[in-house]
Amino acid sequence: MMLSTADWMSVVDWSRAQFAMTAIYHWLFVPLTLGLGFIVAIMETIYYTTKDEFWKRTTKFWMKLFGVNFAIGVATGIILEFEFGTNWSNYSHFVGDIFGAPLAIEGIMAFFLESTFIAVMFFGWNKVSKGFHLTATWLTAVGASLSALWILVANAWMQYPVGMTFNVETARNEMTSFWEVLFSPVAMNKFFHTVTSSYMLAAVFVVGISAWFLLKGREQLMARRSMMVASIFGLVFALVAAATGDGSGVQIARTQPMKLAAMEALYHGQKGAPLTVISVLKPEKERMTQEKAGWMNIEIPRMLSLMSYRDGDAYVAGINDLVEGNPERGLLSVEEKIERGRVAIGELARYRQAKQGNDREVMREVLAKFDPKSSEGKTFHKEYFRYFGYGYLSSPEEVIPNVPLVYYSFRVMVGAGVFFILSFLFTLWLLKKQQIETRRWWLWVLLWSIPLAYVASQAGWIVAEVGRQPWTIQDLLPTVAAVSRIDSASVVVTFFLFVVLFTTLLIAEIMIMRRQVKIGPEPLLSDPEQSNDKTNRDE
């Protein structure tokens, strides 16, 4: 099907919007599933070791909320994976051999694991032994994180493609090392940072809901103990998330320098670059030409260089350096990369023409250039093929992501993370002093921290995904070359259908969750405090 340039760009824009919308909705459900599963498992472990029915009751309450969130989150995840075939078929063809492997493992191993044991987790009370039920709960939580592992490995490969070779015959990238894909430093940092930040979100959720019970004067014992477990859990993984976030920054500096420059709104590279805590960004033309990209800059001297390269005097490339080139630093201009990328694309086209004309001499010549084992192939890859994706770009400015969106999203994510660490510490201090019920203002802060946790989680993905635009695969395939050749009207229609569907699912989840929280845990009539709570609720 032939498409006009305008319609082609419309397909690209609407496909990006549809995928982004689906991913945003999906990620509203995933982090709570990842973290709440482990919190529930910890609570059931306490029940198993103490034999205290109070902990069984508490476990079953949080398990209900976990189940609602898990069930609704599955639907958005399935649609998200199908979009690779419907909207991004060129991408799927180009790297399907690599990208499909971790997704297949996720479906066969991880999702099978969690979906199998979740049945025992919910319906196995008093039907299987306590030990087996506890094992099923832990395996469900572990299975959810294993699902995240394989999906994040696939995403990390898009950010940093390794362990592959290009097949000229099929014009596809093929995996040469599964372990290199799995254990790349980008994949490992992305996995640990994403899951630990999700554990932190779940802890904020449990602490916030517990604060609501304390504000209402209901289930006070359950609320305090749940708050204690979640605060310890959240504090531990908030600190781990901070450490892994630092590691991710080191990897970004080496593999995606444009993303790093956008995160810091750094237009002019410099040695001993400072870390900007916060500033108000200037209009684009002023940011690009003036020394400082923002007004009212609060900076930490040399910290960006230190955090990025572990050297306070290290040079950090700016956006202008990366676009215009900097020969002193060995940086090619984007214009030069575009030319080299077009040479690589041209060689691929030359091979196809030679194959059609059965010109074996030209075919051998081109194959030698793409052969990574030959000296000619190594040179061609280093000089030309590594810039293959640039050949599809029409102007150097396309490699600059939306700087204000990435810049502010990064600060929302980091700022919220620092707040949550302090929040968990203060909450634990109040619990130890037995003053949590008397600080009603703080209980309200904890309750309203729940939406902040979701905003911070989404901000992290904005940094990761918007920051690498225009690439679907870093330096190898831009979005304009990855999209399917379909009519834009079909993408527009499905976009709004999905908006309605996902919004309905989100509203349904909030209503069901809200109802379950209001109902509260099952009563323990033998417990005087819980009996009074039930009476108060009924009144």
- Report d(CA 539, CA 532) in Å as an integer: 11
Reported as a pLDDT band with limits 50, 70 and 90, residue 533 is very low
Percent of the chain's residues with pLDDT above 70: 95
> Domain ends where: 376, 396, 416?
396
Residues 254 and 129 in one domain: yes
Burial of 333 (0-12, 13-18, 19+ CB in 10 A): middle
Residue 527 has pLDDT above 60, yes or no: no
pLDDT above 90 (res 197)? yes
Comparing 516 with 75, which gets the higher pLDDT? 516
My answer on whether 145 and 205 are in the same domain is: yes
pLDDT at 5 over 60: no
- 311-321 pLDDT, tens digit per residue, is 999 999 999 99
Same domain (yes/no): 368, 504: no
- Is pLDDT at 531 greater than 50 in this prediction? no
The DSSP line for 36-74 is HHHHHHHHHHHHHHH--HHHHHHHHHHHHHHHHHHHHHH
Q: Which of 8-12, 352-356, 447-451, 479-483 comes out lowest in average pLDDT?
A: 8-12
* CA pair distance 196, 69, nearest whole angstrom: 18
H-helix or E-strand spanning residue 281: strand 275-281
Predicted confidence (pLDDT) per residue in 362-418, tens digit: 898 888 888 888 888 888 988 999 999 999 999 999 999 999 999 999 999 999 999
SS3 256: coil
How confident is the model over 474-500, as pLDDT tens digits? 999 999 999 888 888 888 999 999 999
Mean pLDDT of 112-127: 86
Q: Do 383 and 438 lie in a common domain?
A: no
Q: Do the bridges between strand 294-300 and strand 315-316 make them parallel or antiparallel, or are there none, so unpaired?
A: unpaired
Q: Do 291 and 391 reside in the same domain of the chain?
A: no
Nearest CA to 197 out of 154, 243, 232 is that of 243
* Amino acid symbol at 328: E
| Separation of alpha carbons 224 and 209, rounded Å | 11
Give the mean model confidence (pLDDT) for residues 270-293.
89
pLDDT at 7: 64
- Domain contains 534: no
Residue 538 has pLDDT above 50, yes or no: no
Assigned domain for 538 exists: no
Integer Rg of the chain from CA: 26
Model confidence pLDDT, tens digit, residues 133-187: 999 999 999 988 998 999 999 999 999 999 998 989 888 999 999 999 999 999 9
Domain boundary residue, one of 354, 379, 396: 396
Sign of the dihedral through C-alpha 414, 416, 422, 425: negative
Residues 159 and 198 in one domain: yes
* pLDDT of residue 419 exceeding 90: yes
Is the same domain home to 420 and 360?
A: no
| Domain containing residue 281 | 260-328
Q: What's the whole-number average pLDDT of the chain?
A: 90
- Give the number of domains in the chain: 3
Q: Is residue 72 scored above 90 in pLDDT?
A: no
Task: Out of 328, 347, 373, pick the residue that ends a domain.
Answer: 328
CB-based burial, 255-281: b 16+ in 10 Å, e otherwise: bbbbbbbbbbbbbbbeebbbbbeebeb
233 and 324 co-located in one domain = no
Percent of the chain residues past pLDDT 90, beyond the cut? 68
**How many Cα neighbours within 13 Å face the side chain of 385?**
23
Q: Are strands 270-271 and 172-175 parallel, antiparallel or unpaired?
A: unpaired
d(CA 103, CA 360): 38
Q: How confident is the model at residue 77 (pLDDT cuts 50, 70, 90)?
A: confident
Cis peptide before 521 (omega within 30 of 0): no
Instruction: Indicate whether 228 pLDDT > 70.
Output: yes
Same domain as 278, residue 183: no
The answer to whether residue 101 sits within a structural domain is: yes
pLDDT class of 97 with cuts at 50, 70, 90: confident
Give this prediction's pTM.
0.91
Q: Is residue 535 part of a domain?
A: no
**Co-location of 290 and 405 in the same domain:** no
Q: 227 and 242, same structural domain?
A: yes
SS3 437: coil
- When pLDDT is cut at 50, 70 and 90, the band that residue 296 belongs to is confident
3 state SS of 294: strand
Question: Do residues 22 and 78 make contact, with C-beta atoms less than 8 angstroms apart?
Answer: no
pLDDT greater than 50 at residue 532: no
The string of pLDDT tens digits covering residues 18-32 is: 999 999 999 999 999
How much is the pLDDT for 529? 44
How many other CB atoms are there within 10 angstroms of residue 248's CB atom?
Answer: 23
Cα–Cα dist 140/115, whole Å? 7
pLDDT grade, residue 524 (50/70/90)?
Answer: low
- For position 536, what pLDDT does the model report? 41
Q: What average pLDDT does range 267-283 have in this prediction?
A: 92
Q: Are residues 28 and 100 in the same domain?
A: yes
Whether 270 is in a domain gets the answer yes
Considering the domain boundaries, does residue 530 fall inside one? no
Considering only 9-13, 250-254, 458-462, 467-471, which range has the smallest mean pLDDT?
Answer: 9-13
Determine the residue type at 441. W
Say if CB 153 and CB 163 are below 8 A apart: no
Residue from 58, 35, 37, 36 nearest 46 by CA: 58
pLDDT band, residue 79 (cuts 50/70/90): confident
Nearest to 270 by CA among 330, 321, 310: 321
